[in-house]
Structure 1
Amino acid sequence: MKNTYKLLVLFVIAAFGFVSCEDQDDKLNVPSDLQVQNFIWKGLNLYYLWQADVPELADNAFSNQGQLNVFLQSEGTPENLFQDLLYKPVSKFPNGGAVDRFSVLVDDYVYLENLFQGVFKSHGAEFTVYRKTEGSNDLIGVVHYIIPDSDAATKNIHRGDIFMRLMAIH
């Protein structure tokens, strides 16, 4: 019985010891105008496949949050920061040589969540617009696909239809 009591006390002390441990990273001083940039940097630092190839994403690149804040401030917009932290992105190597063709930054999380769930806004027709002749400003459109049970399917639009103008109906 005495050993059980000692084991129980040891367990309670250990449990309180683990509860008192918490990650202090989230409590560091990050200015409100750098919250998004800080989130982007930390996400890429933690999860990015090519993190080891980007010196600014190294775990020891900044000795404290203040130095990281200075770096984040120097990058300007969140979009610029994101592109600068990617390893050979398509945006900087459009004619070949790009390594990271997959990373994207989306500023509307609702749109992104809907996209992942297959929810998107569409008129129901997929089409391509071409110039009527080379150098001309006249355009023609060709319908490639009509989504079944969509608004376009109820408007007598068919695959292969060619159109030369669109009319707005209010």
Structure 2
Amino acid sequence: MKILGVSGSLRAASFNTALLRAAQELAPEGVAIEIFGLHDLPLFNQDVEDQGDPAPVAAWKDAVRGADALLLACPEYNGGVTGVLKNAIDWASRGKPAPLDGKVACIIGASPGVTGTVRAQDALRQSLRKVSALYWPLGEVLVGQAHTKIEDGRLTDEKSRAVLQRHLTAFIEKLRG
């Protein structure tokens, strides 16, 4: 099973990218999590789209289409989803059929704040609903105070690792049906 991992942060020392790397380590047997970077994805612009998808957009859409499901690591900026992640959702919502149409997503998130990324995850669910993507709503991975649980790009907090592993295992079991 191929899961596409996407971090909504572009920062080199991103807590959410570290969370995706931890997910790669903790994924159930037979599951590969490929991390897709959004660094080259241009801002959505219909004028650009009307001329044909630029190469980074085509690569993004192909990656979404080719995945069995998505693992979205959602930071929280100013109480909401990041522009980077929302922009990726916007691009992947375009086309017939749109790459996100019917695609299943699992949302996780890490933040220095005490409540983790609870508000951003709620906003992301709204966007996913609007573009006909599905999401697994039965639980959340909210790694609050991430700066104390992620060291040198690695999730070191054992409790958070256990929560992430249980969440991934349940998500994969649901996908396998």
Q: Give the TM-score normalised by the residue count of structure 1.
A: 0.22
Higher strand share: 2
> When the two structures are superposed, what TM-score results if normalisation uses the length of structure 2?
0.21
Larger radius of gyration: 1
Q: Which has the higher contact order (CA 8 A, sep 6+)?
A: 2
